[in-house]
Amino acid sequence: MKDQPLIAEIKDDEIVIRVGIDVIKWALEHHSDSQPYNEETAEFDQKWIVSDAAEFANDVRRAMDREEEDGTTPLIEFLDKMCMEALDDGSTGIDEAPKGTKAFD
């Protein structure tokens, strides 16, 4: 669905994140960087317009998967951050490891 709102859900033991390409288009066109204030006209100007939503969405997907030298991607960094957020929010799905438990065993 091109107009699928951004959602995250558990489906068949996977976290599935979905967003329609028209929502990605809307997000860029309505981002504050895309609508700078013009002091001369006292209006907001539209800086960017997505002319091909499918192509732009594919470029966004590529940016999400762009690897750094250490192999991390923005998507991996997002997942790492969200794991720590869940921990900080008091997730009941984790336990403290017993003292002396070695990492990477």
In a domain, 98, yes or no: no
Average pLDDT over residues 86-96: 96
**In the predicted structure, residue 105 carries a pLDDT above the cut 70:** no
In a domain, 44, yes or no: yes
In a domain, 97, yes or no: no
Helix, strand, coil percent content, the chain, rounded in steps of 5: 35, 15, 50
Q: Judge contact between 64 and 75, C-beta under 8 A.
A: yes
Q: What does DSSP assign to residue 68?
A: -
In a domain, 41, yes or no: yes
Q: What does DSSP assign to residue 35?
A: S
In a domain, 96, yes or no: no
Q: What is the pLDDT of residue 71?
A: 95
In a domain, 59, yes or no: yes
By residue range, what is the domain housing residue 57? 7-88
Query: Which residue reads 């991607």 in tokens?
Result: 73
pTM of this structure = 0.81
Q: 29-60: per-residue pLDDT in tens?
A: 999 999 999 999 999 999 999 999 999 999 99
In a domain, 33, yes or no: yes
Q: What is the pLDDT of residue 104?
A: 85
In a domain, 74, yes or no: yes
The total number of structural domains in the chain stands at: 1
Task: List, in order, residues 6 or more apart from 47 with CB less than 8 Å away.
Answer: 33, 34, 35, 36
